[in-house]
Amino acid sequence: MRDTSYQAVMQRKNEIMKKSVGMDYGKYESGSIAFDYEGMMRDTGYTIDEVIRIQKGFSIGDTRIMELKNITALARKCAKPGKGARIFIKDEAANPSGSFKVRRAAISVYQAKKMGYKGVITATSGNYGAAVASVCAMAGLKCIVVQECFDSKGKGQPEIIEKARKCEALGAEVVQLSVGPELFYSVLLMLEETGYFNASLYTPFGIAGVESLGYEIAHQFRKDYNCDPDVVVCSNAGGGNLTGTARGLMKANCHPQIVAASVNLKGLHMASDTQFNRKSFTTSHTGFGMPFATNPDRSDVPRSAARPLRYMDRYVTVNQGEVFYITEALASLEGLEKGPAGNTALAAAFYLAQEMDENQTIVVQETEYTGAGKHVNPQLSFARENGIEIKFGNPDEEVPGKSIILPEHPSLIRARDYDMEHLRKSYIKNKIAGFDKPTAEDIKFLAEETNTDCDFVLRAIEEISK
């Protein structure tokens, strides 16, 4: 009988991972800080054409890009004369499971089936669970979704409960846990027990799956509008959405400015039982966005394929009230009812468009499905039940966990820049910890990882070591 204590299972982590992903991460390691990221991505064995073909086989992708003419007009009402770029949104909610995440799931599940796994396990409270369940249903594989769902009083976020329902509706087994990062331990135990494939969000398969999204944006834009988009905004949490989209755009030789947008949940601890239900966003927030940007390898695989700092030109935050406001505006002005979390990037784009000229274009690269629990109304209603103050005012005064401030007027919606230099230095600091002297290869790697140059990295290291 194997030792199932927390410590014993965590010690077997790498061995379990190797069996459950069918990948030996060790071969990409240099022994120092650097590792062969592109080599790992190449070894997925899937070209962009193959990714698209696999997804097409599951009726995934080729979603519409819609011009939000009324939202654009509203932004122009708030902008200086001549300002207010055209705002577009890619309707990823039209995918089988209701979000872009199914692109990610498709390649993982395809790989699992190809390698002969009987089932798939994934750890997620988000849209990815439904995505994996949906593709498993099509592929005839078993599916277990493990969710962090309830606080110690047994109370769950309506959004997460709805996602559990959807996974079950698609035939998955849903294992629900109370708050805590030891969810990973439970997943490892189940991987050992079942021998299933680990459809982690962070494998190269998952990220390769998102590349088709960026690739499509480039080609659709060129076909429909005879130009490349100037800016693409991605709602950012674990970084896979941004990484995959940016890589796909690059594969189409398209180079817009890439902006990450997260909901500001500053001050709320992600592993806190008492603060769990005081968040009105379960994803696309800074609680994931910042730590995953500055330390991507904290994910559930030895090396994450989601490395957003490589591709991010700008990182902005928006507040909860602003995203709820823009979600309602999207319904009222464009006739599009979508889930709030996916609209994080839209709230940011609404402001960013006002910095840009009227003849420029800005693309929000996803929408997500909505429904009971996973809709702006139940989320605000739940927040109010939990003692969160909801009122109109200046969103700058919102305090995450205490208040949600809906902007008194749409001109008060803002995207607040996060200091990229600080982010990059935090990343370097995290990476060099535990290493005496980075090698020349490490310096080059860190420059690639932070989208900077060797001089920047050397200066940062000098500063950190002081």
Shortest CB 18 distance to other proteins, Å: 22
Q: Where are the beta strands (DSSP E) in 124-279?
A: 142-150, 173-178, 197-198, 231-235, 257-263
Residue 256's closest CA among 284, 285, 225? Answer: 225
Asked if 344 and 320 count as a contact pair (C-beta separation under 8 A), the reply is no
Site string for other proteins, 399-438 (x = CB under 8 A): -------x--xx----------------------------
Residue 322's closest CA among 126, 84, 78? Answer: 78
Question: Residues 332, 387, 455, 463: which binds other proteins (CB under 8 A)?
Answer: 332
Q: Which stretch binds other proteins (CB under 8 A): 90-98, 174-182, 220-228, 278-286?
A: 174-182
What is d(CA 277, CA 293) in angstroms, rounded to the nearest whole number? 24
Q: Which stretch binds other proteins (CB under 8 A): 103-111, 157-165, 357-365, 432-440?
A: 157-165
Residue 211 within binding range of other proteins, rule CB under 8 A: no
What is d(CA 13, CA 18) in angstroms, rounded to the nearest whole number? 9
Report 86-125 residues binding other proteins (CB under 8 A): 119
Residue 380 within binding range of other proteins, rule CB under 8 A: yes
Q: Which is nearer to other proteins, 121 or 210 (CB)?
A: 121
Question: Residues 22, 36, 67, 70: which binds other proteins (CB under 8 A)?
Answer: 70
Site string for other proteins, 295-314 (x = CB under 8 A): --------------------
Q: Which is nearer to other proteins, 21 or 167 (CB)?
A: 167
Q: Which is nearer to other proteins, 45 or 181 (CB)?
A: 181
* Burial (0-12, 13-18, 19+ Cβ within 10 Å), 145: buried
Q: Which stretch binds other proteins (CB under 8 A): 47-55, 72-80, 211-219, 237-245?
A: 72-80
Tokens of 267: 């001050």
3-state helix, strand, coil in the chain (%, to 5): 50, 15, 35
Question: Residues 43, 50, 67, 173: which binds other proteins (CB under 8 A)?
Answer: 173
What is d(CA 211, CA 80) in angstroms, rounded to the nearest whole number? 35
Q: Which is nearer to other proteins, 147 or 317 (CB)?
A: 147
Residue 158 within binding range of other proteins, rule CB under 8 A: yes
> What are the start-end ranges of the H helices in 311-371?
320-334, 344-355
Question: Residues 32, 194, 360, 451: which binds other proteins (CB under 8 A)?
Answer: 194
Burial 26-44 (b: 16+ CB within 10 A, else e): eebeeeebbbebeebbeeb
Asked if 171 and 136 count as a contact pair (C-beta separation under 8 A), the reply is yes
Question: Residues 16, 23, 68, 174: which binds other proteins (CB under 8 A)?
Answer: 174
Site string for other proteins, 262-301 (x = CB under 8 A): -------x-xxxx---------------------------
Asked if 62 and 332 count as a contact pair (C-beta separation under 8 A), the reply is no
Residue 11 within binding range of other proteins, rule CB under 8 A: no
Q: Please state the φ and ψ torsions of residue 261, each to the nearest 5 degrees.
A: -135, 130
DSSP 356-406: SBTT-EEEE------BTTBSHHHHHHHHHHTT-EEEEE-GGG--TTTEEEE
What is d(CA 287, CA 299) in angstroms, rounded to the nearest whole number? 14
Residue 74 within binding range of other proteins, rule CB under 8 A: yes
Q: Which is nearer to other proteins, 161 or 305 (CB)?
A: 161
| Helix, strand, or coil (residue 120) | strand
Number of residues counted as binding other proteins (CB under 8 A): 66
List interacting residues with other proteins (CB under 8 A): 5-6, 70, 73-74, 77, 119, 142-144, 149-150, 152, 158, 161-162, 164-165, 168, 171-182, 185-186, 190, 193-194, 269, 271-274, 324-325, 328-329, 331-333, 372-373, 375-382, 384-385, 390-392, 406, 409-410
